[in-house]
Amino acid sequence: MSNADETIRDLPAGETADATARAPATTALDFLSVRDIRKSYRMGRQTLDVLRGVDLDVKKGEIVAIMGQSGSGKSTLLHQIGLLDEPESGEVYFEGDALPRRGNQAAAARSRLFGFIFQFYHLLPEFTALENVLMPAMILDDLGVWRRRKGEHKERAARILERMGLKERMKHRPKELSGGERQRVAIARALMNKPPVLLCDEPTGNLDRGTAEGVRSLLWELNQSDGQTMIVVTHDSSVAAQANRTLELVDGRLANTGSSNGA
Amino acid sequence: MESLPGPSWTSPYRWAVALRLLRARKINLISILGVTVGVASIIVVLAIMDGFQRDLRAVIRGTLSDVIVEIDPRELGYEEIRETVLALDGVKAMTLQRATFGLIQAATRDTDGARQNFLPVRIIGVLPEQEREVSRIFDFVKEAANQPEDVFRLDPPPMFAESTPHILMSKWLARRVGYSLYGRTMRPNDNFGLITFSESDKNNQGQATWAPNDRDVVCSRLYDSRNSEFDKLHIYVDLRSTVHDFFSSPDGVVTELRIKLDDYTQARDMIPRIERAIKALDPTGLAFVQGQTWEERQGPLLAAVNNEKVILSFVLFFIVLVACFTIFATLTMTVVEKTREIGVLRAMGATAPGILSIFMLNGALVGLVGAASGYGAGLYVASNVNPIREFLRDRFGWDIFPTDIYSFDYIPTYIDHRAALSFTLGAALSALFFAVIPAIRAARLDPVRALRYE
């Protein structure tokens, strides 16, 4: 970690991640901080600036909702935070340390620090619910560790699924599960490696209202019981309304909507 | 941030995903089957071709010696030549053969009844006790004889004159001649007419004239060299006892020396030495002496069989190539279909090399399973090709190996395990090679685009 970074942490923490926060030197770093993330896509001859210097600070145990119009770059921001994509510039900090952006180090950080939940669940159809949940551990462990800890992992995966109310569905393949059940398996999978941060991309976007509420309350319960930190990208204002903070992505920058309900 | 231990190259998810993809996608079975059929076909065809080659070589070699030397003029004394050649280092045994042509009197039956007919034969005069040391012709004799010269004797002696020349003839000729004369296969003790030609008086211009000699001969034994082309034409006589019957004239008689070497691999070096030694015996220095190995004498036939084997292997490897293209197509399709799953795996921490290895493993498994089953199936069929042939013939009336076309009444096979394993390994490696491009495509997928793929 550089001296510059240490200086940053000593400065007072910025309450919001608004567009005025530019250089890392001007704001202190939080549990998870994003500084000046810029990302653009080439569309033929045109360049589309999707993220124009996004700053964000998330406290430990906080649920931050990010809203915005379709195509505003919400998912792109989530991918940047989760180290799935490389920005043109900017950094993601976890507990004050800048995270690697590429290669095996980025993959390792992704695997240990973040759990992804997607709108369309993205379960592996060839595997059972239990195997899907075990997959992050299979990716993180080498063969020796896996052999030693397989039983322990299986127990944990089963426990999480049980907590998700899927005790009877562990041996079922995704196609044998309902939408809500699939999303709960996806949540269980995201929790498998005990990631400090969950990144949820429209977690209720593909579910009917009742099921969506069930999935949301499950996530909020995780936050309440385990202090699980979450960044939730959503279109659903009722979901956003129950987050600790709601930010809106407008013109490639995050703006505070003013709602800070502390739920 | 301190260095995090990254996902290891031994992470179990690679095997788990590769195996599950292999099992879940039935189309992989087609690829495996393709490799299996390709490898099995190559092994079976190679085994049959090798079997043919080996048995054909054994058959041809059985009637020939390591080295054959043709000599002209024949006035050179055999005993002198024999002494000289046997004195050379590396020469194990030697004998003399003289040959002439004759006609066996048989009959052809047609609508008008039986008609006189002649079968041309090559009469080979051998010295039995010496012949045994250079060739295997007496091993092909059906009724065993204690001594090689006994092959040309009958016990008890024939009912007619004992001086009647005794003939060792092939089973094939015995059947052909026997049916025309006796209505059955000829047996030892049966006699038949043999016409040879000898030089008679000179004509007005002083040129030699040829007169046919029609004499009775008796069949003493039958042989079967399994080379029907050879068997159709050759009869053997004891040179010593029949030299006046068949070989009285020096003209029209071909003299050959048959030589066995201590080490056949030295044959090409030995032949010039043998030729020089024989030429040195000729005071005129004009003698024609030419040596050949048995392979050179049968060169075109052996080369043709070998060439057929090479061409067939080459053509059959295309089956494996087609199967490999199936693997390529299947894997490419899998990568497209599994794009989102690849993105999810990346989101969970899988690295690009990890994704690459999943699809490489998939291709390798298809190749290995296909090649291994092809190897097994190929060995099974190659080892049971004759029972399979009999089954097809008896059950469906379909004879895949008509014996009247080939020299053998069975399908000869020889499994060269090293070659079979090389082809198996080659097929498995080809499968792996064809998996490389789809695997690289999968590994290079941008995880964000992969997750958004619809």
* B337 touching chain A per CB within 8 A: no
* A79 touching chain B per CB within 8 A: yes
Task: For residue A158, give the nearest of A150, A167, A149 by alpha carbon.
Answer: A167
Between A171 and B403, the more confident residue is A171
pLDDT for B303 equals 82
**Average pLDDT for residues B351-361, to the nearest whole number?**
92
SS3 string of B184-236? CCCCCCCEEEEEEEEEEEECCCCCEEEEEEEEEEEEEEEECCCCHHHHCCEEE
Residues of A in contact with B340 (CB under 8 A): 120, 122
Check CB contact under 8 Å for B348 and A135: yes
Cis peptide bond prior to B165, omega within 30° of 0: no
Question: Which value does ipTM take for this structure?
Answer: 0.84
Residues of A in contact with B24 (CB under 8 A): 125-126
pLDDT for B76 equals 67
* Selected residues 340-369 of chain B with any CB under 8 Å from a CB in chain A: 340-341, 343-351, 354
pLDDT for A23 equals 41
pLDDT for B7 equals 58
Which range, A101-105, A172-176, B19-23, B243-247, has the best average confidence (pLDDT)? A172-176
Check CB contact under 8 Å for B7 and A139: yes
**Average pLDDT for residues B69-81, to the nearest whole number?**
75
Work out the percent of chain B whose per-residue pLDDT is above 90. 22
What type of residue is B277? Answer: A
Beta bridge partners of B134: none
Comparing CB atoms, the residue among A99, A127, A138 nearest residue B1 is: A99
Q: How far is CA B68 from CA A179, B32, B97, B233, in A?
A: 87, 52, 10, 19
d(CA B169, CA B220): 8
Q: Can you tell me whether residue A97 is helix, strand or coil?
A: strand
Residue-wise DSSP of B23-41? HH-THHHHHHHHHHHHHHH
CB A63 within 8 A of CB A223: yes
* A102 touching chain B per CB within 8 A: no
Sheet containing A97-98, strands listed edge to edge, beginning at the edge strand earlier in sequence: A46-58, A32-43, A89-94, A97-98
Task: For residue A256, give the nearest of A96, A76, A89, A68 by alpha carbon.
Answer: A68
* B24 touching chain A per CB within 8 A: yes
Strands B254-261 and A63-67: unpaired
Check CB contact under 8 Å for B8 and A142: yes
Residues of B in contact with A75 (CB under 8 A): 452
pLDDT for A1 equals 37
Helices B78-86 & B267-279, crossing angle to 10 degrees? 140
Residues of A in contact with B11 (CB under 8 A): 138-143, 146
Could you count the other beta carbons within 10 Å of the beta carbon of residue A15?
11
What type of residue is A169? Answer: R
* B5 touching chain A per CB within 8 A: yes
* B8 touching chain A per CB within 8 A: yes
Between A189 and B100, the more confident residue is A189
Cβ-Cβ contacts under 8 Å for B203 (sequence gap 6 or more): B209
* A121 touching chain B per CB within 8 A: no
Check CB contact under 8 Å for A141 and B447: no
Cβ-Cβ contacts under 8 Å for B376 (sequence gap 6 or more): none
Residues of B in contact with A142 (CB under 8 A): 8-11
pLDDT for B62 equals 76
| B358 confidence band (pLDDT: 50, 70, 90) | very high
Comparing CB atoms, the residue among A75, A112, A118 nearest residue B4 is: A112
Backbone angles phi, psi at A99, to 5 degrees: -90, 145
Could you count the other beta carbons within 10 Å of the beta carbon of residue A137?
26
Check CB contact under 8 Å for A139 and B448: no
d(CA B360, CA B352): 12
Q: How many CB pairs under 8 A join A and B?
A: 114
B301: enclosing H helix or E strand: helix B299-337
Question: What's the burial of B284, exposed, middle or buried (CB within 10 Å: 0-12/13-18/19+)?
Answer: exposed
Which range, A206-220, B60-74, B105-119, B329-343, has the best average confidence (pLDDT)? B329-343
Average confidence score pLDDT of chain A: 84
Cβ-Cβ contacts under 8 Å for A4 (sequence gap 6 or more): A24, A25
DSSP A12: P
Check CB contact under 8 Å for A138 and B16: yes
Q: Report the residue of chain B nearest A135, measured CA to CA.
A: B13
d(CA A144, CA A168): 30
Check CB contact under 8 Å for A135 and B347: no
Check CB contact under 8 Å for B350 and A103: no
* A225 touching chain B per CB within 8 A: no
Comparing CB atoms, the residue among B1, B21, B351 nearest residue A107 is: B351
Check CB contact under 8 Å for A141 and B12: yes
Q: Can you tell me whether residue A66 is helix, strand or coil?
A: strand
* A179 touching chain B per CB within 8 A: no
Residue A230 pLDDT > 80: yes
Check CB contact under 8 Å for B349 and A139: yes
Residue A115 pLDDT > 50: yes
B126: enclosing H helix or E strand: strand B113-126
- Token look-up 């003698």 returns B287
Comparing CB atoms, the residue among A136, A144, A146 nearest residue B348 is: A136
Cis peptide bond prior to B73, omega within 30° of 0: yes
Comparing CB atoms, the residue among B12, B351, B448 nearest residue A138 is: B12
Q: How far is CA B88 from CA B80, B135, B259, B404, in A?
A: 13, 19, 11, 44
* A143 touching chain B per CB within 8 A: yes
Residue B283 pLDDT > 80: no
Q: Which of A111, A145, A187, A201 is the best substitution to test chain B (most B C-beta atoms within 10 A)?
A: A111
**Average pLDDT for residues A10-23, to the nearest whole number?**
35
Check CB contact under 8 Å for A140 and B4: no
- Token look-up 């190539």 returns B321
Kindly report, residue by residue over B291-343, the tens digit of the pLDDT: 999 888 887 877 888 888 888 888 887 877 888 888 899 889 889 988 999 99
d(CA B16, CA A146): 12
Work out the percent of chain A whose per-residue pLDDT is above 90. 49
Instruction: State if pTM tops 0.90.
Output: no
Alpha helix (H) ranges present in chain A?
3-10, 74-81, 103-113, 129-140, 143-163, 179-191, 209-226, 237-241
Average confidence score pLDDT of chain B: 83
* B444 touching chain A per CB within 8 A: no
* B4 touching chain A per CB within 8 A: yes
Comparing CB atoms, the residue among A120, A122, A139 nearest residue B350 is: A139
**Average pLDDT for residues B211-225, to the nearest whole number?**
85
**Average pLDDT for residues B150-165, to the nearest whole number?**
74
* B414 touching chain A per CB within 8 A: no
